[in-house]
Chain A
Amino acid sequence: MKPDSSRNSWEAEIQPHQTIWSRLDHGARRLLPGILCFFIIIICAAPLPVPGITEILPAFMITTVFFWSAWHPSSMTSPVVFLLGLSMDFVNFTPLGVSALLLLLVHSVAFYSRFGITRLPFLLSWLIFAFIALGVCLLQWSFACLFRLHILTLSPALFEATLCVGFYPALSVLFSWVIQKFNDREDI
Chain B
Amino acid sequence: MIPVSIQLRLALNRLTLPALILLSAGIIIAGQADRKRSEKVRMCVADALAPVWSVVTAAEERAIAVTSALHEASHLASENTRLRTENENLRRWYDVAVSLTRENDSLKTALHWIPEDAPTFVTGRVVADSGSIYARAVLLIAGADSGVKAGNIALAANGLAGRVTETGAHSARVLLITDISSRLPVLLESSHAPAIMAGDNSPMPKLMYYAQDIHPLEGERVVTGDQAGAFPAGLPVGTVHYIMPGRPVVIPYAKLDHLVLLRIFNFGQAQVEAPDAPGHVPLAPPHKTQEPPFTKLFNQG
Contacts and interface: CB of A to CB of B under 8 A. Distances in A.
Contact of B32 (A82, A95, A105): A95
A96 interface: yes
Interface stretch (A28-36, A51-59, A174-182): A51-59
B16 interface: yes
Contact of B129 (A47, A78, A79): A47
Nearest to B57: A46
Contact of A101 (B28, B38, B60): B28
Contacts of B133: 54-55, 58, 140, 144, 156-157, 160
A108 interface: yes
Contacts of B137: 93
- Determine the interface band of chain A, counting residues with CB < 8 A from chain B: 35 or more
Given A42-B52, A82-B20, A93 B45 contact: no
Interface string B42-83: 100110010011001100100010000000000000000000
Contacts of B41: 96
Contacts of B45: 90-91
Given A47-B127, A82-B24, A93 B16 contact: no
Interface string A88-118: 0011111111101100110110010000000
Nearest to B56: A46
A139 interface: no
Give the secondary structure class of A's interface.
helix
Contact of B42 (A77, A90, A152): A90
A42 B49 CA distance: 8
Given A55-B133, A93-B42, A147-B32, A9 B24 contact: no
Contacts of A92: 130-132
A97 B53 contact: no
A100 B129 contact: no
A97 B56 contact: no
Given A47-B57, A96-B27, A78 B20 contact: yes
B23 A82 contact: yes
A148 B132 contact: no
B27 A152 contact: no
A148 B130 CA distance: 17
B135 to A, nearest CB: 6
B21 A108 contact: yes
Contacts of A100: 20, 24, 27
Interface of A: 9, 42-43, 45-49, 53-55, 58, 77-79, 81-82, 85-86, 90-98, 100-101, 104-105, 107-108, 111, 140-141, 144, 147-148, 150, 152-153, 156-157, 160
Lowest 5 CB-CB distances: which A-B pairs, in order?
A97-B27, A96-B31, A97-B28, A100-B24, A46-B56
